[in-house]
Amino acid sequence: MARVLVTGSSDGLGLLAAQLLIRDGHEVVLHARNDARAADALGSAPGAAGVIVGDLESVSGMREVAEAANATGRFDAVIHNAAIGSNEPRRFQTPEDLSQVFAVNVLAPYLLTALIETPDRLVYMSSGMHHSGDPSLVDLQWERRRWNGAQAYADSKLFVAALCFAVARHLPGVRSNAVDPGWVPTKMGGPEATDDLSFGFVTQAWLAVSQDKAAQASGGFFFHKAPVVAHPAADDHKLQEGLLAACAEICGVQMFGTPQGA
């Protein structure tokens, strides 16, 4: 039995992954951004070990989630599932005046990875849209560009893949992998999504707990339990270190010490 934290698990793919892990006998801690959604999550995932409440749109909320997670004990795996989709407006409503897409999709997994006691496995939810991401690290908060929600989302999913690969490089003892769940008909994906929802939550759960040899990889990008090729920029060490530095400057927490292979 593994002990797993799934962020953003009050609905959608996070909830489905949590339900699968619970059915398979694992100890699962859920996460929701407020008390109402926490109650919904616990009602939808009977057997969950608990739920952590915290809004990942702010650095203080991210810190609260990390502190609460650590207070429950060490996890064997963390699935970084929480995300904001491509249809969101630009909205600089976070206390740090950040784009919410960047805050939730990129900064939150960065800071949670830095602050939560390091598990054996880390799983980061990316997207096939990351192939359209801009790796330039210019204007991360969309302060100078005209807002484009789809591009901001694609950028964020490229950056989270780069974060995943950076963690794999810096922490060779940890299995760190990214997942493209496909375009599936969740609330985020929308009713026009063309991929099969029944496959959309399996890979992240598999990577978190499976003893299959294929699930023992690190630094991989997976689609439907098979490794696929990620955007080459995600594996660029200069991009990775630039992203880590940008996140550290925003939240005041440096994830690693001396860069390796930068």
* For helices 237-251 and 149-170, angle between their N-to-C axes, nearest 10 degrees: 100
Among 110, 124, 157, 213, the active-site one is 157
Name the percent of the chain in helix, strand, coil, to the closest 5: 45, 15, 45
Say which of 110, 153, 187, 238 is annotated catalytic: 153
CA distance 105 to 30: 18
Centre a 10 Å sphere on the Cβ of residue 4 and count the other Cβ atoms it contains: 28
For residue 112, what are its two tokens? 């949670």
Q: How far is CA 110 from the centre of its chain?
A: 9
- DSSP assignment of 203-235 equals HHHHHHH--SGGGG-SS-EEETTEE-PPPGGGG
To the query of whether residue 157 is one of the catalytic residues in this protein, the response is yes
Is 153 among the catalytic positions? yes
* Catalytic sites, residue numbers: 153, 157
